[in-house]
């Protein structure tokens, strides 16, 4: 009888593009055997100090993969000649760069010039998801790091985007509508800034009325939340099972997102910092 695990392996190795065959679980098993445990230990340490690290890493991972692919270009600093992705308005709320730097430093001490920053982001995000009660999914490794980062490449979907437009954005990255919904489950461990949607509660498009397309029972609940003094400073700390009962769907969507436009083989580089 075919097991769930064998189905997942069949999906990833035969349905995915041939280039992704160079990615595999345990890519560093020989070249850096402790790589994944080092990442896990440092994420656990950071999580113990601040459990919002999960939401931060999910955001970083998404913002990296949805620009030029999962190549860690979001980590590159600007130069005198070029503004990097970090300078984009959409990336001003991305954080935990210091954690990735700390992990990279530890891995360079263990196995110089071996583990890519792109794999570090992907592994760290998976480990952080697990710490808040999310699924522990298998990460394919072997990504290489991108050589460039340009602010002009950043074109991420904003909070005001419509569902049809969001579907187009995700489909352009090879993700289905169901996978888009699954990935939205990541927001169950974070929070939405009231400033992004408050106009829909009271003055939609200057009408002085709520957005007529919103659920009428949701509007007063959101108004009460957004009128509270600590509007944007709270949110659930674990995965909400009622919203997120299809953990396998989320796990497979995360793996698929982590494989968007990856660099493998001799493409890109392995950054040292």
DSSP 139: P
Close Cβ partners of 143 (under 8 Å, ≥ 6 residues apart): 23, 70, 71, 72, 116, 118, 119, 122, 262, 263, 264
| Tokens found for residue 189 | 């461990």
Q: Is 73 annotated as a binding residue?
A: yes
**187 labelled binding-site residue:** yes
Is 113 annotated for ligand binding? no
Long-range contacts of 45-49 (CB under 8 A, 24+ apart): 46/96, 46/99, 47/128, 47/131
> In the chain, which ranges are continuous DSSP H helix?
4-10, 35-49, 53-68, 97-110, 117-131, 163-172, 177-184, 198-202, 218-227, 247-257
193 annotated to bind ligand: no
69 annotated to bind ligand: yes
Distance CA 85, CA 154 (A): 6
Catalytic residue among 61, 63, 193, 245: 63
125 is in an annotated binding site: no
Beta bridge partners of 141: 24
Is 108 annotated to bind a ligand? Reply is no
63 noted as active-site residue? yes
Q: Is 188 annotated as a binding residue?
A: yes
The answer to whether 173 and 232 are in contact (CB under 8 A) is no
The Cα–Cα gap between 252 and 139 comes to 10
∠ at Cα 10 (240, 63), nearest 5°?
45
Q: How far is residue 134's CA from residue 145's CA, in Å, rounded to a whole number?
A: 27
CB 57 within 8 A of CB 75: no
Feature table: binding site:
64, 67, 69, 71, 73, 85, 157, 187-188
Feature table: binding site for heme b:
187
Feature table: binding site for substrate:
157
Feature table: binding site for Ca(2+):
64, 67, 69, 71, 73, 85, 188
Give the residue numbers annotated as catalytic, written as ranges. 63
């Amino acid at each position: 009888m075919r097991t769930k695990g064998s189905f997942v392996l069949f999906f990833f190795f035969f349905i995915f593009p041939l280039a992704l065959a160079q990615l595999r679980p345990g890519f560093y098993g020989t070249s850096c055997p402790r790589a994944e445990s080092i990442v896990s230990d440092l994420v656990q340490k950071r999580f113990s100090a601040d459990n919002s690290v999960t939401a931060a890493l999910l955001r970083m991972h998404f913002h990296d993969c949805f620009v030029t692919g999962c190549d860690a270009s979001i980590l590159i600093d600007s130069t005198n000649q070029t503004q990097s992705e970090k300078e984009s308005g959409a990336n001003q709320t991305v954080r935990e760069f210091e954690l990735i730097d700390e992990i990279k430093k530890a891995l360079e001490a263990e196995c110089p010039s071996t583990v890519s920053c792109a794999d570090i982001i992907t592994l760290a995000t998976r480990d952080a998801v697990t710490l808040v009660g999310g699924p522990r999914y298998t990460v394919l490794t072997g990504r290489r790091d991108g050589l460039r980062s340009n602010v002009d490449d950043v074109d991420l979907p904003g909070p005001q985007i419509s569902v049809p437009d969001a579907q187009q954005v995700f489909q352009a990255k090879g993700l289905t509508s169901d996978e888009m919904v699954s990935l939205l489950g990541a927001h169950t461990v974070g929070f939405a800034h009231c400033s992004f949607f408050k106009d829909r509660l009271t003055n939609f498009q200057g009408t002085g009325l709520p957005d007529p397309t919103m659920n009428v029972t949701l509007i007063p609940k959101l108004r009460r939340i957004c009128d509270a003094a600590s509007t944007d400073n709270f949110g659930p700390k674990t995965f909400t099972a009622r919203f997120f009962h299809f953990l396998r769907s989320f796990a497979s969507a995360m793996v698929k997102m982590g494989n968007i436009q990856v660099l493998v083989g001799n493409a890109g580089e392995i950054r040292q910092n």
